[in-house]
Amino acid sequence: MTSDRARYEEGPFRFHHPLCVRYVEVDAQRHVYFGHYLTYFDVALVEYMKAIGYAYQDMLDSGVDMFYVETGCQYRGRARFDDLLHVHARIGHMGHTSFTFEFAIYKQPADELIAAGKIAAVAVDAREEQPVRVPDELREAVARFEGEPARGGS
């Protein structure tokens, strides 16, 4: 699930999730409508959490949820119907209550970077919906999977 060529900003990603562009995701210009890239990020985020051994459901079961508070995407190329995309994901920054997922989307087979972005999330108590410390289980899972703690502190 890794690609030695998959690099964006801080170095290689260790995880990617393959997606094939569906016809419904293509606009009148015959390429992927810009808003779908955030959906691709979200799909990869969920799959990344499963891959590191701390699924989103595990977080919910511990009484913690996450709210997305910021997103961003830089568009660097185009994807069209039936293109195979590798959506790379990682947690690149972890603060006290917040953490940031980083993404890079590469079109195959050329491994062409077509989009890069982020989703910042805040850990919240699932009932009270107030910020809480990022769960230690998530911190540990990221450190195990990535080989080092996410940037940004404890």
Supply the DSSP string of 75-100, one letter for each residue.
E-S---TT-EEEEEEEEEEE-SSEEE
Q: Decide if pLDDT at 154 tops 70.
A: no
Q: Decide if pLDDT at 140 tops 50.
A: yes
What is the domain extent for residue 97?
Answer: 16-146
User: What's the rounded mean pLDDT across residues 134-148?
Assistant: 95
The mean predicted confidence, pLDDT, of the chain is 92
CATH of the domain at 64: 3.10.129.10
In residues, how long is the chain? Answer: 154
Q: Report how many domains make up the chain.
A: 1
Order of strands across the sheet that contains 112-125: 16-20, 84-94, 98-107, 112-125, 64-75
- Alpha carbon dihedral 38, 43, 47, 52, in 10-degree steps, equals 20
pLDDT in tens, 111-133: 999 999 999 999 999 999 999 99
143 confidence band (pLDDT: 50, 70, 90) = very high
Q: Is residue 100 part of a domain?
A: yes
Q: What percentage of residues in the chain have a pLDDT greater than 90?
A: 87
Residue with tokens 């801080």: 10
Q: Is residue 83 part of a domain?
A: yes
pLDDT in tens, 40-97: 999 999 999 999 999 999 999 999 999 999 999 999 999 999 999 999 999 999 999 9
The reported pLDDT for the residue numbered 2 is 40
Q: Is residue 151 part of a domain?
A: no
Q: Is residue 44 part of a domain?
A: yes
